[in-house]
Amino acid sequence: MDRIAEMRRTTKETDIFIKLNLDGTGEIHLDYPIGFMEHMLTTFARHGLFDLKVQASGDLSVDQHHLVEDTGMVLGHCFTRALGEKQGIRRIGTCLCPMDETLARAAVDLSGRPFLVFEAHLAGIPLVSGGHSFQTDTIEDFWQGFTQGAAATVHLDILRGRSDHHKIEALFKAASRSLQEAVSRDPRSLDMVPSTKGVLV
**Would you state the pLDDT for residue 130?**
81
Query: Considering the entire predicted model, what is its pTM?
Result: 0.95
DSSP count for the chain of H helices, then E strands: 4, 10
| CB neighbour list of residue 107: distance below 8 Å, 6 or more residues apart | 92, 93, 94, 154, 155, 178
Distance CA 99, CA 138 (A): 21
- pLDDT higher than threshold 70 for residue 162: yes
Burial class (CB in 10 A: 0-12, 13-18, 19+), 12: exposed
pLDDT in tens, 93-148: 999 999 999 999 999 999 999 999 999 999 999 999 887 899 999 999 999 999 99
Q: How confident is the model at residue 76 (pLDDT cuts 50, 70, 90)?
A: very high
Q: What is the 3-state secondary structure (H, E, C) of 48-67?
A: HCCEEEEEEEECCCCCCHHH
Q: How confident is the model at residue 173 (pLDDT cuts 50, 70, 90)?
A: very high
The type of residue at 157 is: D
Q: For the domain 4-183, what is the CATH code? A: 3.30.230.40
Where do the domains of the chain lie?
Answer: 4-183
> CA geometry: angle at 71 spanning 68 and 73, to 5°?
115
Distance CA 66, CA 60 (A): 8
Q: How many CB atoms lie within 10 A of CB 179?
A: 25
Distance CA 119, CA 63 (A): 23
Distance CA 109, CA 178 (A): 9
**Would you state the pLDDT for residue 132?**
86
Distance CA 139, CA 77 (A): 18
pLDDT in tens, 16-74: 999 999 999 999 999 999 999 999 999 999 999 999 999 999 999 999 999 999 999 99
**Would you state the pLDDT for residue 69?**
98
